[in-house]
Amino acid sequence: MPAIPYYWTPEELARDAGEARRIFVQQRLALEDDDRRHYGGVLDDGVAAAMRLVESTDGLRHVTGDALRERTVLNIARYATRSLISLDDLDTLTNSCFGAWVGQSTDRGQRPTAAAFEAAAGIVAPRLDPMRAPWLATGQAPSAEEALRFAQWTGSILAASRLIAYRRNRGAQRQEEATRQAIVAAGYAERPTPGRGFDPLAHLAPASFAGRARSVGGASMDVPCRLRDGHPSGIEFVAIECKESNSSINSRKRLFEVSDKRTRWDASGRLPNLNRTVAVLAGVYDLGELAAAQQRGIYVVWEHRLPDLTDFLR
């Protein structure tokens, strides 16, 4: 049999987990310039938005629905509070659609009502961070220096939050692209698949894979792949998940995410009985969690050993 499906021994897991950690550290340090550029760009936009928030609310003293009707102003207002107000929380608390609206680039989609903007203002105003806006305690308008300091501080919180998400997405995109290249190297072809109503067997011919993540049983699958007919393993389909972890503690969450998805995929009844779940891993992983994942039936493939996946698919 090729290298996978395979139950890695503790010694093999330790060897490859150590190599994955070394590569993760090397890549993270090498990408510092990219992180700096991304942070700086978001910071500039965040500071500008925070300054507009200060101006539209009379120095944060009159936070009204009308003052929050600009997307960037509403969004930065969430970061001006003592703790971040997520868009999901804001939608729930106001029974509105701020999450969808903030993510739009035009006015053609959903837009919160005037009542929703007023409700959002009522949530933001009493939660403004007094440390960043000390003038609110006196009722006086902020000085130019105070307003700028508030804007820079708030913009930096936004930029740091966006950088975390950017790093996560950057790693996911790298892993998924590398995984698809490994599948192509095995002689498989990418097939167009519908964004909704994806049926692994109906929409994927033997020896093919989906070029984008697709949902099965309400759970997203990074790389659905149907094996070639007569594959020596007897397996017909593999659901491939790409996971990067930055700590041993985080690795537990990442591996349980894979297991949870596998349960939902199996329960959907849309996969062939002869299917397996593969986790393509990069970064830092706890050896005990890796062993437990294997015991739950997850096939472990390391990103730095993707030829193992290619060999298996052939």
Convert the pLDDT of each residue in 275-284 to its tens digit: 999 999 999 9
Whether 120 and 67 have beta carbons less than 8 Å apart is answered as no
pLDDT digits (tens, 9 = 90+) for 288-298: 999 999 999 99
With a CB cutoff of 8 Å and minimum separation 6, the contacts of 285 are 17, 20, 21, 245, 248, 251, 255
Strand partners of residue 189: 208
Q: How many Cα atoms occupy the beta-carbon half-sphere of 21 within 13 Å?
A: 13
Q: What is the DSSP letter of 64?
A: -
Residue 285, Cβ density class (10 Å: 0-12 exposed, 13-18 middle, ≥19 buried): buried
Percent of the chain with pLDDT over 70: 98
- Is pLDDT at 20 greater than 80 in this prediction? yes
Instruction: Give the pLDDT score at 277.
Output: 95
Considering the chain, tell me which residue range(s) the CATH 3.40.1350 domain(s) occupy.
10-30+186-313
Say what the pTM is.
0.81
Confidence band for 105, pLDDT divided at 50, 70 and 90: confident
Mean pLDDT, all residues of the chain: 94
- Is pLDDT at 274 greater than 70 in this prediction? yes
Instruction: Give the pLDDT score at 6.
Output: 67
pLDDT digits (tens, 9 = 90+) for 147-161: 999 999 999 999 999
Report, as an integer, the average pLDDT of 243-262: 96
Conformational region of residue 165, where left means phi above 0, alpha means psi within -120 to 50, and beta covers everything else: alpha
Instruction: Give the pLDDT score at 3.
Output: 47
CATH 1.10.287 fits 10-30+186-313, yes or no: no
For residue 190, give the H/E element and its range: strand 189-191
- Is pLDDT at 143 greater than 80 in this prediction? yes
pLDDT digits (tens, 9 = 90+) for 179-210: 999 999 999 999 999 999 999 999 999 999 99
- Is pLDDT at 84 greater than 80 in this prediction? yes
Instruction: Give the pLDDT score at 106.
Output: 83
Instruction: Give the pLDDT score at 1.
Output: 43
Report, as an integer, the average pLDDT of 255-271: 95
Task: Give the strands of the sheet with 298-302, arranged side by side.
Answer: 189-191, 208-210, 223-226, 237-246, 275-284, 298-302
- Is pLDDT at 108 greater than 90 in this prediction? no
Torsion 139-140-145-148 (CA) sign: positive
pLDDT digits (tens, 9 = 90+) for 28-82: 999 999 999 999 999 999 999 999 999 999 999 999 999 999 999 999 999 999 9
Instruction: Give the pLDDT score at 107.
Output: 79
Matching residue, tokens 């409700």: 119
